[in-house]
Amino acid sequence: MQNFQFLVSEEEEKTRIDSYLAAQSQLQLSRSRLQKLIDDGKITVNNKKVKANYKLKKGDLITLSIPPAKEYTAIKPESIPLDILYEDEDLLVINKPQGMVVHPAHGHYSGTLVNALLYHCSDLSGINGVMRPGIVHRLDKDTSGLMLVAKNDYAHLALAEQIKNREVKRKYLAIVFGNVKEDEFTIDAPIGRHPVDRKKMSVTLKNSKPARTRVRVLERYGGNYTLIEASLETGRTHQIRVHMANIGHPVVGDPVYGPKKQPFKLPGQMLHAAELVFKHPKTGQMLTFKQAIPPIMESLIEKLRKTI
């Protein structure tokens, strides 16, 4: 059982308790999950049960008792095909398909990359806890492409340190709306939880972290769409999707940050992790992996080229 306490300041008065807690980065809990905990009496204010719409007052003491995640053994190995590009005793490099969830979460414990990894590997690192064994970094469900997986804690710590020090190079390809005019530029804008919709991220100065994305235009399609290469200097949640939407060029097919009415029938955003460069944690050898875009993205590009 994890326990947390928060003391409400004057600036935080009149905020709904579920909104307030969803903004606390150390909790990493969705608003719906928090509402369930409130209903179950796992979250109290001044030792009393409240409702999710309770408006906070200065001096309120919020106490959370969060039940533990499902045990590691409860996450079942599943025989799900994996596209493994590289594997040794320390790590794997995987080409994740669009539509695959990376790790189990509340209410979603099967069909994930972790379920597939548990079937394939006898051991995975435990650094990220029982719910995310081996996961050094993640991709969104509908983002395809290259991912690193650690088989032991030593490799995990070493790879995580490389990411923290910006030594891992990660390049993505994306089709975005509109004509991106500049050939090359950097988006330097902090990202945090959206102030209203807690399931989304946004460019904001409140409770945010620095975020930098380098963008290079590869092709333009009649002024209506652009193919870009985006290089991550930081690794914030939904970073490329949020940054591109913030400058008026959301990723095509993005149901969260793009327009409600999409011009093509797509299963998700046209975003692909195309290149991954890192130093092997044991040998020190620089490893480079490149993965071609998936057929659905290739097909859309061919269609857009015909419109020019």
Helices (H), 40-143: 113-120
Whether 142 and 203 map to the same domain: the answer is no
pLDDT value, residue 72: 44
The CATH number of the domain holding residue 9 is 3.10.290.10
In a domain, 215, yes or no: yes
Whether 135 and 177 map to the same domain: the answer is no
Q: What does 68-88 look like in DSSP terms, one character per residue?
A: PPPPGGGS--------EEEE-
In a domain, 177, yes or no: yes
Domain boundaries, position 79: 72-165
User: Which range is least confidently modeled, 2-6, 281-285, 293-297?
Assistant: 2-6
Single pTM value for the model: 0.76
pLDDT value, residue 108: 67
In a domain, 278, yes or no: no
pLDDT mean over 22-44? 82
Whether 180 and 99 map to the same domain: the answer is no
Boundary (domain end) residue, out of 127, 148, 165: 165
Whether 204 and 124 map to the same domain: the answer is no
For 197, half-sphere exposure in the C-beta direction (CA atoms, 13 angstrom radius) is: 7
**Is 88 in the active site?**
no
List the catalytic residue out of 18, 60, 90, 140.
Answer: 140
Distances (CA, A) of 74 to 1, 81, 306: 17, 21, 50
Q: What is the mean pLDDT of the chain?
A: 90
In a domain, 134, yes or no: yes
> E strands within 100-238?
144-150, 169-177, 184-188, 191-193, 201-203, 208-209, 212-221, 225-232
In a domain, 103, yes or no: yes
pLDDT exceeds 80 at position 127: no
Boundary (domain end) residue, out of 115, 140, 165: 165
Helix (H, G, I), strand (E, B) or coil at 193: strand
Reported as a single tens digit per residue, the pLDDT across 202-247 is 999 988 899 999 999 999 998 899 999 999 999 899 999 999 999 9
pLDDT mean over 279-303? 97
